[in-house]
A and B are shown apart, each in its own frame.
Chain A
Amino acid sequence: MDDFLIRAVAAGIGVALIAGPLGCFVVWRRMAYFGDSLAHSALLGIALGLLYGININLGTVIVCTVFALLMVWLQQRRVLATDTLLGILAHAALSIGMVAISFLGNVSFDLYSYLFGDILTVRMIDLYWIFGGGAIVIGLLIVNWPALTLMTIHEDLARAEGVNTVWANILLMLLMTIVVAVSIRIVGILLITSMLIIPAATARQLVSSPESMAVCAALFGVIAVMLGISGSVELDTPSGPSIVTAAAILFAVFSFLAAIRRRA
């Protein structure tokens, strides 16, 4: 196997392993639109990274974190509904990002690869980001798992039992910004949310505990990545959309099986 292919598979597996468990919270807490908006704002991070010559992963983490904190602050003022706020922030960030990119002038910029990912161009530095960031995400998720799950089931109950729910909410958002930042090269800005929710939604059909849903979601993500990359190489299709297509097929198959089982 070629080096670039090994890096691609390793990167894809890394992203799947963190997106699956975190994706459970995205599904449970209905944060899919938030994830999408966060990913849109990542384009501004990429633009700033390229403009000022800093690592684009870092640029993305910074911009997405500012986005998330701004979102928390606006939400607490309760003037507008969350989806309205997300729509404003996400599209503003996307547009500002595109405007900023136009200032780059003659620097070659492959917008398509940022929107849909280009897993076959993954470099070692990207792998460090994925596995470094991934270790942080998984570590924080494991440590805070019971508190986050309890908060998801009943926020006041968690508060009564000593969970700082404000910080727990911010933590979830920050973990999502890391996942967004490290996933851009794999599936692209437009498809990041699908890596979070499709494997988790597939897992939901099979399990009866929150922990097994997280493990299953990670496994489904890995399978989707393997199928997607092999399909992409065989059929010469774009890698990001191929992975998401594979994930969607898995979801369809298991939904069908679950429906049959329920009827039987």
Chain B
Amino acid sequence: MTELLAARHVSVYRDGKTILEDVSLSIGEQDFITIIGPNGAGKSMLLKCMMGFYAPSEGTVFRRDGLKIGYVPQRLVADHTVPIRVRRFLTLRKKASAVDIERVAGETAIQDYLDQSLHVLSGGELQRVLLARALLDDPDLLVLDEPAQNLDVTGQLAFYKLIERIYAERNISILMVSHDLHLVMSSTREVVCLYHHICCSGEPHLVTRDPEFIGLFGQDMARLMAVYNHSHDHDHVHDHGHDHSHGHEHSHHNGGDSSHASHHYGHSHHDPSHVGRDRQKEQQDG
């Protein structure tokens, strides 16, 4: 596997606080990695270090020579004082033919807005415009920083579906930071759980069993996520009208699987008692 972008033992200290501590993360070809974690966990900082916006205090960032990254920021606040149409925004600093523009516009379903001003678009439309701009250079890697944070639930679902489709069709790698646990967990991609250091990583249904994940997000959230994940295990169409009531049974079943998620032990706030409590609860439920 060729490595595209990697953080190697990256630490960031700001104003006497440890924002990132010894974080290593590698993105290879056709990887789809989602970084999750609570507010202030350092997710954005990790992304910014990997993008080269900030130099880490310790450690290095590897970037393959000639790697093309498409970056989709959290949101675009389209200021009405700047008069600019979508088409012009897409081509600022880029050499793109009309054909290229039509192609990415079709891919992201923004054909109808190409000649509209940026500031009249809705939040979801703006995110798709940002995505189109990121795709215009045919990137090898798409980096998305909480791309759906300011959308409503329907908008989030549609946006994540679009990302999934682009991933499947373009055969590219994706590195995403996300707050939207329920949507991330319903996919089977790799999840990295970050809280200043990498707590755990792996497929969502394994991560939700991880004691550090439970410690971070709480028992209820872990349980809820496990339910989300399992109700979709056999059905990758994300149907939100779905009845989740049978989820407990599943989580009981797979209780022993947690060892498959890769742990990163040796950090101070790791609390093994969570494991015990988790098991106990499941037994009671069963």
Contacts and interface: CB of A to CB of B under 8 A. Distances in A.
A153 interface: yes
A210 B82 contact: yes
Contacts of B117: 208
Contacts of A146: 92-93
A100 B265 CA distance: 67
Contacts, number: 59
A126 to B, nearest CB: 32
Contacts of B53: 156, 159-160
A154 B76 contact: yes
A213 interface: yes
Contact of A209 (B73, B79, B84, B143): B84
Contacts of B76: 153-154, 157
A95 interface: no
Given A153-B76, A209-B88, A160 B51 contact: yes
A209 B117 CA distance: 9
A210 B88 CA distance: 9
Given A147-B93, A159-B53, A160-B51, A153 B73 contact: no
A157 B78 CA distance: 13
A207 B82 contact: no
Q: Secondary structure of the A side of the interface?
A: helix
A149 B110 CA distance: 22
B266 interface: no
B83 A213 contact: yes
B191 interface: no
B181 to A, nearest CB: 24
A210 B83 contact: yes
B69 interface: yes
Given A146-B93, A156-B73, A204 B51 contact: no
Contacts of B82: 28, 149, 152-153, 210
Contacts of A209: 83-85, 88
Interface string B51-70: 10100000000000000010
Given A150-B93, A153-B82, 12 more contacts: A28-B82, A153-B76, A154-B73, A156-B53, A156-B73, A157-B73, A157-B133, A160-B143, A163-B93, A208-B117, A209-B83, A210-B88
Interface of A: 27-28, 146-147, 149-150, 152-154, 156-157, 159-161, 163, 204, 207-210, 212-213
20 contacts: A28-B81, A147-B93, A149-B84, A150-B93, A153-B78, A153-B82, A153-B92, A154-B73, A157-B76, A157-B133, A160-B53, A160-B143, A161-B71, A204-B81, A204-B83, A208-B83, A209-B83, A209-B85, A210-B88, A212-B83
